[in-house]
Amino acid sequence: MGKRVGMEVSIAAAEAVALIDVDVVAAYPITPQTHIVEHLSELVANGHLDAEFVPVESEHSAMSVCVGAAAAGARTFTSTSSQGYALMVEICYIASSMRLPIVMAVVNRALSAPISIWNDHSDMMLARDTGWIQTVAENGQEVVDLLIHAYRVAEDHRVLLPVMVNLDGFIVSHVIEPIELPSKEEVQKYLPPYKPLLKLDPKSPVTMGPVGVPEIYTEVKKAQDEAIKNSKKVILEAWEEFAKHFGRVYKPVETYRCEDAEIVILLMGSIAETAMRAIDTMRERGKRVGLARLRLFRPFPVEELVSVLKPVKAVAVIDRALGFNGYTGPLCAEVKTVLFNHALTPYVWNYIAGLGGRDVTVENFVEMVEMLEERAARKEPMGYEIINVRE
């Protein structure tokens, strides 16, 4: 096992991709993803990583190169943010539908307009239905670990789907954190070489990505839907194996002080660390509050959420993006679907927080929980609000 060293998370992410020994990296620089790609191009240029680095002219091309490379049997990586991701989305659907095990780090940043280079989850939510497996990291070590895990899941023949690892722009990506990088040998023991099930090979010709006439399209989509549902088992297995190899234990839903909690704060990403501080403060005041953080967003961790939320009286769902549908943020919509499907009826209030880089503080969390309790007590119809907004 390697030493823990202080390292910028983006650099650590690039180093992890090098340890994974990818064959092709195609990327276009965009803030705040830039350092990952810059460092990868350095690693390729100085011979530390034997890979084809394709400096494409757009994110649409970046994903297209990844699709072509993966179809030819290469292990591929790309990374993007925000507008770049938006431009890439067309090909993201193609990557998952063609069942290509591409891995991408999405350094989450707000979508324009107004132009914002800062962090929220509107880019991630833009493409929540692309058919990619999606994980969300809380900190730097988790970024490294989720990237290694991503390839093991994506390339498993029971899965063969692309995986997106989300990390918060700047708040995670540009912070220097203590990171433990495994050795290449350790990574290789965990991650066998990629053996494609189908690939573009002149000796055995196939057509990938052809027309699917109405008689065929639905069957292909059903197979894809089953694949992402069934990927859950492999995702869990790969985390179990990860714990055996590297000693760190990962679950689809991470909980904090939920054992006897009456109120649960539910969210994704790095603000979980602030939420935990707030929960400690509230616990000292005798409030039974806990945290549920989704590490796995696609496939949605239904069983884990049900077991966490079953005994709970009220839930504060924190969205880092708007839904613009007039009644809920995107994450809360999914949580409410799970609750409804399982006939669970806690009081749910949806807070839209931390848009375009606005900080979400300990005090914000304390206030959100207090307002949740008040609303639940007066049986106010459930809904959502943007917090921390000037009137």
Partner 1 sequence: MAKELGLHSWKEAALGGAIITPGNASELRTGDWRSSRPVVDYEKCIKCGRCYIICPDMVYTLKEDGYYELNYYYCKGCGICSEECPKDAIEMIEEGS
Could you give the CA distance from residue 289 to residue 199 in angstroms, rounded to a whole number? Answer: 50
Asked if 124 and 270 count as a contact pair (C-beta separation under 8 A), the reply is no
Least gap, CB of 117 to partner 1 (angstroms): 35
Q: Which long-range contacts (CB under 8 A, 24 or more apart) does 309-312 make?
A: 309/264, 309/266, 309/335, 309/338, 309/339, 309/344, 309/346, 310/342, 310/344, 311/261, 312/261, 312/262, 312/263, 312/264, 312/346
Could you give the CA distance from residue 239 to residue 180 in angstroms, rounded to a whole number? Answer: 17
Looking at 94-102, 176-184, 359-367, 375-383, which segment touches partner 1 (CB under 8 A)? 94-102
Binding mask of the shown chain, residues 152 to 191, with x at each position contacting partner 1 by CB under 8 A: --------x-------------------------------
Number of residues that bind partner 1 (CB under 8 A): 25
Task: Choose, by CB under 8 A, the member of 24, 26, 27, 100 that binds partner 1.
Answer: 100
Asked if 102 and 76 count as a contact pair (C-beta separation under 8 A), the reply is yes
**H-type alpha helices, 102-160:** 122-126, 140-154
Please state the three-class secondary structure of 296-323 as a single string: EEECCCHHHHHHHHCCCCEEEEEECCCC
Could you give the CA distance from residue 173 to residue 79 in angstroms, rounded to a whole number? Answer: 12
Q: Judging by DSSP bridges, how do beta strands 289-294 and 253-256 pair with one another? A: antiparallel
Q: Which is nearer to partner 1, 24 or 70 (CB)?
A: 70
222 near partner 1, rule: CB under 8 A = yes
Task: Choose, by CB under 8 A, the member of 1, 176, 216, 377 that binds partner 1.
Answer: 216
Task: Choose, by CB under 8 A, the member of 2, 178, 192, 212 that binds partner 1.
Answer: 212
Least gap, CB of 218 to partner 1 (angstroms): 8
Task: Choose, by CB under 8 A, the member of 35, 60, 75, 99 that binds partner 1.
Answer: 99
Task: Choose, by CB under 8 A, the member of 9, 62, 98, 261 that binds partner 1.
Answer: 98
286 near partner 1, rule: CB under 8 A = no
Least gap, CB of 152 to partner 1 (angstroms): 19
Q: Which is nearer to partner 1, 131 or 354 (CB)?
A: 131
Least gap, CB of 213 to partner 1 (angstroms): 7
361 near partner 1, rule: CB under 8 A = no
Looking at 22-30, 103-111, 202-210, 342-350, which segment touches partner 1 (CB under 8 A)? 202-210
Torsion of CA 176, 180, 183, 184, to 10 degrees: -50
Task: Choose, by CB under 8 A, the member of 45, 176, 197, 243 that binds partner 1.
Answer: 197
Task: Choose, by CB under 8 A, the member of 47, 193, 210, 286 that binds partner 1.
Answer: 210
Residue in 372, 321, 315, 364 with CA at minimum distance from that of residue 338: 315
220 near partner 1, rule: CB under 8 A = yes
Instruction: Give, for 129, the enclosing helix (H) or strand (E).
Output: none
315 near partner 1, rule: CB under 8 A = no
280 near partner 1, rule: CB under 8 A = no
Asked if 316 and 264 count as a contact pair (C-beta separation under 8 A), the reply is yes
Binding site for partner 1 (CB under 8 A): 97-100, 160, 197-198, 205-210, 212-213, 215-220, 222-224, 226
